[in-house]
Structure formats: structure tokens, C-alpha cells
Chain A
Amino acid sequence: GAVVSQHPSRVICKSGTSVKIECRSLDFQATTMFWYRQFPKQSLMLMATSNEGSKATYEQGVEKDKFLINHASLTLSTLTVTSAHPEDSSFYICSASPPGASYEQYFGPGTRLTVT
């Protein structure tokens, strides 16, 4: 099946710094990618929809100035957590669908962010 990668897999940063997470579709082009967040023992919650060449669409309650999304190419979307705080510590997961196969959404392996 299609492959989606994320980098880094794990990151620890200090409070107040910014962290960038990359999401790549390795063998297909994705005009739309999704960013989810998952806190311990909870389900995935959608943060935003990343559209190639246009602004991302954020879910209610997600600060667009804090979670910057850039989808500059058909295979890469980035999520930058700006001025991170300990409460931003979470598991961040991206997903994408191959063209013509919207019924299959492929997820990246996730990025574990710890803010100290």
C-alpha cells in the first residue's frame, strides 16, 4: 500500500521553542493531507486539513498562529508548533489519500513531541 512518512519520530524541546514536523507521501501525490493529535489514552483528534498551494483549514479550537501548516508540494506538508508549551506534548499524526482512492487514507507513523 501507499506509504506516508513523518520526521522526526520523536522530539524533545524546551518550552518556548518551535518544532517542525514533516509529513511526506513517498509513492503518491497528495493534494490534501490531514494533521491529527492524540493525547495519552485518547483517540485521534483532527487539528487541520492541509491543502497543497492554499491555506490550511483548522478545526475549531485549534490556533492557526500556533500550529503553522505549510503544504508547499504534492508530497510534503509541514506542521510547526510555535512557542511550544508542556501542554502541547502529544502524539502528532498526519495522513493522506492517493488520488482516485479517497476510501483509503494512509497514516504516517506519528511524531512524539515532549515539551519540557
Chain B
Amino acid sequence: DAKTTQPPSMDCAEGRAANLPCNHSTISGNEYVYWYRQIHSQGPQYIIHGLKNNETNEMASLIITEDRKSSTLILPHATLRDTAVYYCIVRHGGSQGNLIFGKGTKLSVKP
């Protein structure tokens, strides 16, 4: 699976949009981009995933560049409860295999 690069930390004001970037320049054609987050001392939580089209669900939006070498996770109205470590993971579609976690981005939402 391709490697991802994320900034180690970011701050965001409560109520504002949080935009978390991820670089995955070696992604291959059949690899999806997944986002998970981990709130302190809890198990990771699935957020969203996509292949090449932008995706949106009740939690977030995922914007993937046309060349698929990078993506951005958008939390439209961040709350204090969104403070967590966000992991961007690239994985083969349909894979039953494990997820490989990098260091992620520590998002701190401030009042």
C-alpha cells in the first residue's frame, strides 16, 4: 500500500471548517484513500473513503485531486469533540487486509 504524508498537528477554531491535507504521491490506480480518527484513549473511528471522486457523508467531505496524489478531509463546522488524531490511509479496494497507520495529524479544535 502507498505511503501517506500528513502534517503532525493543526489547530482550528470552533465552528470553522477544518481542512486536513494528505499527500499520497505513489498511490496506484486501484488504491482508495481512507480517513480514520482516534479520540484520546479510544479506538479509531471510520470517517470516509474515496477512490477518485469527491465524497461527502454526515461527518465530513473528502476532496481528492485529479491526479489523486493528494487529498483533503474537510470537517465543515469543527466542534471541540472533533479534537483527535486524524489518519489518512491508502489501501487496495476491496481488501480484507489490515490498515497501516502512519503518525496522523493531531487536530486541536479551540474555543
Contacts and interface: CB of A to CB of B under 8 A. Distances in A.
A53 B6 CA distance: 38
A108 B41 CA distance: 11
Interface in B38-70: 38, 41-46, 49
A104 B42 CA distance: 17
A104 B43 contact: no
Interface in A26-45: 32, 34, 36, 43-45
Contacts, number: 50
Q: Which of B43, B45, B99, B103 has the most CB of A within 10 A?
A: B43
Contact of B43 (A32, A46, A102, A109): A109
Interface stretch (A14-22, A70-78, A89-97): A89-97
A112 interface: yes
Interface residues of A, number: 25
B101 A112 contact: no
Contact of B101 (A44, A97, A103): A44
A34 B43 contact: no
Interface stretch (B14-22, B73-81, B88-96): B88-96
Contact of B46 (A6, A32, A106): A106
A35 B88 CA distance: 19
A4 B41 CA distance: 16
Contacts of A1: 46
B102 A105 contact: no
Interface of A: 1, 4, 6, 32, 34, 36, 43-46, 49, 91, 93, 95, 97, 102-110, 112
7 contacts: A43-B102, A49-B98, A93-B43, A105-B99, A107-B45, A110-B42, A110-B43
